[in-house]
Amino acid sequence: MNIAEQLLSSILDTLPLQIAVIDESSSIVYVNQAWRSFGLFYGLDIETDWFGISYLDICRANQDTNQPELLDGIARVLDGTQNHFTTDYLCHTPTQHPTWLTLNLQPIQTALADGKLFLLSLTNITHHKQTEDRISALTLTDPLTGLANRRRLEQFMHDEWSRAIRHQSSLSVMMVDADHFKQLNDSMGHAAGDECLRQLANILRKYTNRPGDLAARYGGEEFVLVLGQTTQQEAAKIAERIRQKVMALDIRFAGHRLMTVSIGVASLGLNHSHWQKEQHARNQSLNFSEDGNLLIEQADKALYVAKKQGRNRVEVYDKHHRLTVPLSV
């Protein structure tokens, strides 16, 4: 190794970036010190000989990465169809917590090798990603109850509506409202009122054990519970259980009035099959406000009737846009 090569190697070894040089088959021909140090997290020796190891094989072995995008992007650069590729991906190591990395890959202009060579660099962005996730969580969470806020609800409903239409599956939404909450606040004080809302939130949270479920604070004393793959009949039963659990809290106010909730339920499901087919044919041209908001609007209308009928009850909005009274106190 001549002086220039020694100097270049020393410079690369001082960089915090994990750097490797690979050939057209993705075989590694060089790694710097930062790359070797990261290998320690996999239980490898600092002096491990990386020469000849396929980087694509390393990626395939890491099942937690976004493999299709990662592998395809690397392959496009190696075969010359793309000049540069960058992506963020999650990397799980056997001895460390999950690590987020930014990968950059591009060809090197050099006459030192017979074939083409490519510069691959990895930047550890775990701290940045964790900070970003914390900030994102704060912007999507109701600070009083810890449930999702309205912004998060809108995002979630957009995804779940699309999934339900695409897979022709059930989806139910319930609007939950604390009855006479102004009186409760006036008689018990706002601190006690806030505690009542937190207790109601805790009840709703117990019904969100699946990826397609979400409990959100809609505003004031109104909450929304989204239940994926849940039929109208199932949702109505859950709503009734929630109503009874709130009564079981035995919170009294304003002359011993019992804290109760009114609930409106709306569903998209197998009992809507004809309507679903029509909706499925139209869904490409519809936006979220015309689709996903529909169930929230219907649940809100059912809630309105529940309050008109005397509160402390469950009402269901049916597929013919008629309000029914499946459950009563």
Phi-psi region of 159 (alpha: psi -120 to 50; beta: other; left: phi over 0): alpha
Bridging pattern class, strands 314-317 and 261-268: parallel
DSSP 264: E
Q: Is 175 exposed, middle or buried (0-12, 13-18, 19+ CB in 10 A)?
A: buried
Q: Is 326 exposed, middle or buried (0-12, 13-18, 19+ CB in 10 A)?
A: middle
Q: Is 298 exposed, middle or buried (0-12, 13-18, 19+ CB in 10 A)?
A: buried
Give the number of residues written for the chain: 329
Q: Is 297 designated active site?
A: no
DSSP E strands: which ranges in 125-242? 171-178, 213-219, 222-228
Instruction: Report d(CA 303, CA 243) in Å as an integer.
Output: 13
CA 140 to chain centre: 11
As a 3-state breakdown, the chain gives helix, strand, coil percent values, each rounded to 5, of 45, 25, 30
Element (H, E) at 159: helix 150-167
DSSP states of 188-208 as a string?
Answer: H-HHHHHHHHHHHHHHHHTT-
Phi-psi region of 172 (alpha: psi -120 to 50; beta: other; left: phi over 0): beta
Residue with tokens 């909005």: 317
Kindly give, in sequence order, each residue whose CB lies less than 8 Å from that of residue 172, ignoring residues fewer than 6 positions away: 226, 227, 230, 231, 232, 234, 235, 265, 266, 267, 268, 269, 295
Q: Which of 160, 221, 240, 315 is catalytic?
A: 221
DSSP 288: G
The residues annotated as belonging to the active site are: 221
